[in-house]
Amino acid sequence: MAEVEAHPDSDSPSFSDHIPVMLDSAVALLNVRPGLTYVDATAGGGSHLKKILDKQKGSGLAIGVDKDTGAIEKLKTRLKGEKVELVQADFAELKEILPRFGVSTITGGILADLGVSSMQVDDPARGFSFNKDGPLDMRMNDRQELSAAQLVNQLPQDELANLIFEYGEEKNSRAIARAIVAARPLNRTSELAEIVCRAAKGRGIRQSKRSSRTGKVNAIHPATRTFQALRIAVNSELESLELLLEQSRSLLAPGARLVVITFHSLEDRLVKQFFRRMASHCVCPPRQPVCTCDKKPEFLIITRKPLVAEEKEVLANVRSRSAKLRAGEKLP
Ligand SMILES: C[S@@+](CC[C@H](N)C(=O)[O-])C[C@H]1O[C@@H](n2cnc3c(N)ncnc32)[C@H](O)[C@@H]1O
């Protein structure tokens, strides 16, 4: 087992190389009780899942899903002897996965701690990091064909610029796409990072990002947004999230909870809008004087404002800086 690190938000040591974000708050909001079924849709290094299992006290069912084959294999060893089912799959396929375990409705709840794990980012061979040289890969699921190299080397310039703009919210996307196309073929993360830095520098652009937690503007590496955009596209992250949210409507039993931790504004927007839509009593056009839609709220929003990590957690784990946690409970 890897080095054990104390987690600031927890009274128990971290379970894996990945320091879990908002571990205690997320599991508390999931309201884990023995006898019920819980799904950890992003099992990763297993810290959240282990905490769920501890709270279940051996009664009920826990299903851990991750599209990363290596993560699931490691968890099979780490969680040996625990009452847990581990599945390598995209959480967008939850509806198809559950019947394999005789589950039609999730009585306890679903947890999704989105994005990438430290194990993925820290491994240069996975190609997620602009700080570590590696192949331009970025696939969470190594069984999938599409990689970052294919997007970088094969997309028409306009499409590449749109992708970097849309998924990276990168204002300099056109210049970056032009520089990438001129430098093709690119096969290494270091090559891409350098091209992006040069394109940004050439336009005198300093990259910064406003912290959702403190409101302060922090300087970021010029390649951050481009790498984020490619990662989101390679792994269809937003499409999968939309499918998971939509499926939770029919999969969760009344009283069951949905807890989602996001790491960038595109994800958070989807979750926020989903909960708002689900909690609303009326979807009539705003100018219509009388409600005729008969809409019933489907979820109760538990976190009126998203939870963010406390200062001490952010100091100990920089990854938690951009985390936002939202939770809702399925209504009858
Ligand atoms: C932030 S980590 C989760 C860490 C985990 N909560 C823990 O305690 O270690 C995110 C994990 O979600 C997985 N993941 C991301 N999107 C996924 C998807 N659509 N389907 C399944 N797994 C996904 C990634 O492979 C990664 O292992």
pLDDT value for 217: 61
Q: In this predicted structure, which of 11-15, 69-73, 192-196 has the lowest mean pLDDT? A: 11-15
Mean pLDDT of 91-98: 98
Question: Would you kindly state where each structural domain of the chain is located, as residue ranges?
Answer: 23-119+237-330, 142-234
Tokens describing residue 140: 């969470």
* Span from the CA of 55 to the centroid of ligand 1 (angstroms): 21
Give per-residue pLDDT as tens, 33-59. Answer: 999 999 999 999 999 999 999 999 999
User: ∠ CA 23-25-29 to the nearest 5 degrees?
Assistant: 120
Q: Kindly report the pTM of this predicted structure.
A: 0.91
Give the 3-state secondary structure of 262-285. Answer: ECCHHHHHHHHHHHHHHHCCCCCC
Fold of 142-234: DNA polymerase; domain 1 (1.10.150)
Give per-residue pLDDT as tens, 101-118. Answer: 999 999 999 999 999 999
4 pLDDT more than 50: no
Compute the mean pLDDT over every residue in the chain, rounded to the nearest whole number.
91
- Alpha-carbon distance of 323 to 314, in angstroms, equals 10
Conformation bin of residue 12: beta by default, left when phi > 0, alpha when psi is -120 to 50: beta
Rounded to 10 degrees, the C-alpha dihedral 312/264/75/27 comes to 60
Taking the CA of residue 92 as reference, the ligand 1 atom at the shortest distance is 19
Tokens describing residue 187: 């096969």
209 pLDDT more than 80: no
Helix (H, G, I), strand (E, B) or coil at 15: coil
Q: For residues 92-111, b (16+ Cβ closer than 10 Å) or e, as one string?
A: bbbeebbeeeebeebbbbbb
pLDDT value for 294: 86
Tell me whether residue 288 is exposed, middle or buried, using C-beta atoms within 10 angstroms of its C-beta: 0 to 12, 13 to 18, 19 or more: exposed
Please tell me the total number of residues recorded for the chain in this structure: 332
* Span from the CA of 243 to the centroid of ligand 1 (angstroms): 15
Where does the pLDDT of residue 77 fall: very low under 50, low under 70, confident under 90, or very high at 90 and above?
very high
Give per-residue pLDDT as tens, 188-205. Answer: 999 999 999 999 875 544
Closest residue by CA, ligand 1 atom 9 = 45
85 pLDDT more than 90: yes
Would you give the distance in Å from CA 209 to the centre of its chain? 19
* Span from the CA of 289 to the centroid of ligand 1 (angstroms): 45
* Span from the CA of 265 to the centroid of ligand 1 (angstroms): 17
Taking the CA of residue 20 as reference, the ligand 1 atom at the shortest distance is 8
Fold of 23-119+237-330: Rossmann fold (3.40.50)
List, in order, residues 6 or more apart from 253 with CB less than 8 Å away.
Answer: 105, 106, 107, 330
- Alpha-carbon distance of 150 to 187, in angstroms, equals 9
Taking the CA of residue 43 as reference, the ligand 1 atom at the shortest distance is 5
Q: How far is CA 145 from CA 137, 139, 140, 292, in A?
A: 10, 9, 11, 47
Closest residue by CA, ligand 1 atom 13 = 42
